[in-house]
Structure 1
């Protein structure tokens, strides 16, 4: 039976192989316990001929990208509780990414699940996004194991980002994509992976979303998984919009003003407005009234 839940939970996890039957059983039990609407897996290591091994009761819609070797492999699982209708599927033959476009409860959604090996990960992701640029819009959610941090705060070494990483972040900005965990937790020091060499923790697993959809993000957190060397990330999207009747009356969502990232964005917006509109002939009241109009346009 299809359920119309208020929130749409999405989970992403590098499972580090699903060829062993006991491993698949543990993963499926974990997925059932977490009960997401969408589950994205990386490094399944399933070959093209083994895709039928990934089965889960209550999850008939399973989309995979694999190759002929036991490497890489990504999958997107859609719960039967969700009214998902697929429109198109794109994936590469290496099994490093899969993108599905469709509708959930009649709303457009694009999910891109990507795995980047640690060899030139930033360049690979940038090239992949460039190839898929025309498919990326405000309904896009990008998840996966990027094998790299996106900011200095994302690893205990506090090592500066190299040029490839900076270029990738610039690409994200051009596509209006945001690291949702860092946006909602600007000072958090939680990580998803431990590297024994050189002995550092880092957050290399990510969920990106479009700036226009940030107000619908209810929560995002890092979850423990005992069967993988990675931790999972779980995000909840407010899905009530799809069930509410359309109205021409705009109402402010006051709960947004309780979120730290919204407050910081408003402060930054006011600062930039003051810097670009310094005019000794304008009254403070006129500047403030104009600033409110600008900010309203940014956050409506």
Structure 2
């Protein structure tokens, strides 16, 4: 146990929820999978895939080989999906889909923990009756730690979750939805961790209004597992993705094996600097009292340190540019 704790560190489950507004176009599927890889998403819960039952294109790659889909039988609309990364040792126990394309549930284990993941897409009318029906089905299916994500097409707290502070959703619909969530002891994670903040996941060009209608829910007794949740920038879909970090039984090596980023060798200034570093190293260290084999092994460490330094600097610059771009996009949205 001591060896394990010293060699490994805890790893969060990185969950994403995103209304993708249709994935029948190959470029959109490729873009989604690239985004999932770059964000190191463990489990992706998607809505509005728009796959028609019996005619659905493939949505997987070597990084996300496992997928569960609920496709509408009548048209290319609705649809929900759950994708699981190859880095997550998820053992499937059961899955449940809806012929109406409103939800998909999957239950399984990650090491010694049981998880139930649910991706839900509610209609834009009578959301309360649809939610109540789905939660009743989920109640008999779920086990362990249940994570619910989806587009609910409603602002549960219009005063905070709408840029106008109001909603056209009937009051009885909101009351019924809140009651259903309360009866099932479900917590709106973003609002719980951002109690007074305003942020939005969707902009309606028709009503010229920003709203937060995309959610992550978890049972109240598992609320402490949530480390953070953020609404990201809206990019290629009309909804913003939500990112949730959840404590998990996963562990990762404290020190990962280093691999050379070969793209650094293609950079002429870096090659020139490396040549100068090695020239200086050998000039300072080749002496008659030090075996040449020792100098040779030492020079390998110098090369490794040089490339680690350059690779880290390049990654920091790239991450900073990405954060700045996303921050600018979010500022324009708000």
TM over 0.5: yes
For the pair 1:158 / 2:165, whether they are aligned, the reply is yes
Match of 1:24?
Answer: 29
Distance 1:223 1:15, change over 3 A: same
Q: Superposed, which structure 2 residues align to 1:138-157 within 5 Å?
A: 139-152=145-158, 153-157=160-164
For the pair 1:224 / 2:225, whether they are aligned, the reply is no
For 1:138 and 1:168, how far apart are their aligned partners in 2?
23
Match of 2:49?
Answer: 44
**Aligned-residue offset at 1:98:** 0.5
**Aligned-residue offset at 1:4:** 8.1
TM-score, with normalisation over the residues of structure 2?
0.68
**Aligned-residue offset at 1:137:** 5.5
The range that moved more, 137-146 or 164-173, is 137-146
For 2:205 and 2:219, how far apart are their aligned partners in 1?
34
**1:206 aligned to which of 215, 224, 232:** 215
Deviations 1:234-270 (A, max 9, x none): 1001124889xxxxxxxxxxxxxxxxxxxxxxxxxxx
Match of 2:289?
Answer: none
For 1:227 and 1:41, how far apart are their aligned partners in 2?
14
Query: Is the CA contact (8 Å cut-off) linking 1:97 and 1:114 kept in structure 2?
Result: yes
For 2:122 and 2:206, how far apart are their aligned partners in 1?
19
Query: Is the CA contact (8 Å cut-off) linking 2:92 and 2:109 kept in structure 1?
Result: yes
For 1:205 and 1:124, how far apart are their aligned partners in 2?
16
Query: Is the CA contact (8 Å cut-off) linking 2:112 and 2:249 kept in structure 1?
Result: no
Deviations 1:103-142 (A, max 9, x none): 1122011111000121222321122112332234561111
TM-score, with normalisation over the residues of structure 1?
0.76
Distance 1:87 1:242, change over 3 A: farther
Match of 2:132?
Answer: 126
**1:236 aligned to which of 237, 240, 245:** 245
Deviations 1:88-111 (A, max 9, x none): 111111111011111112201111
**Which one has a larger percent helix, Structure 1 or Structure 2?**
2
**Aligned-residue offset at 1:225:** 3.5
**Mind listing any 5+ residue stretches in structure 1 that lack a counterpart?**
244-300
Structure 2 residue matching 1:220: 3-state secondary structure: strand
**Aligned-residue offset at 1:57:** 2.1
For 1:223 and 1:180, how far apart are their aligned partners in 2?
15
Structure 2 residue matching 1:182: 3-state secondary structure: helix
For 1:193 and 1:223, how far apart are their aligned partners in 2?
11
Higher alpha-carbon Rg: 2
Q: Superposed, which structure 2 residues align to 1:216-295 within 5 Å?
A: 216-240=225-249
Match of 1:14?
Answer: 19
**1:97 aligned to which of 103, 110, 113:** 103
The alignment covers a number of residue pairs equal to 241
Query: Is the CA contact (8 Å cut-off) linking 2:201 and 2:234 kept in structure 1?
Result: no
**Mind listing any 5+ residue stretches in structure 2 that lack a counterpart?**
1-7, 253-334
Match of 1:215?
Answer: 224
Match of 1:290?
Answer: none
For the pair 1:75 / 2:81, whether they are aligned, the reply is yes
**2:176 aligned to which of 161, 167, 178:** 167
Query: Is the CA contact (8 Å cut-off) linking 1:4 and 1:82 kept in structure 2?
Result: no
Distance 1:195 1:52, change over 3 A: closer
For 1:22 and 1:155, how far apart are their aligned partners in 2?
32
Match of 1:58?
Answer: 63
Distance 1:145 1:187, change over 3 A: same
Distance 1:67 1:199, change over 3 A: same
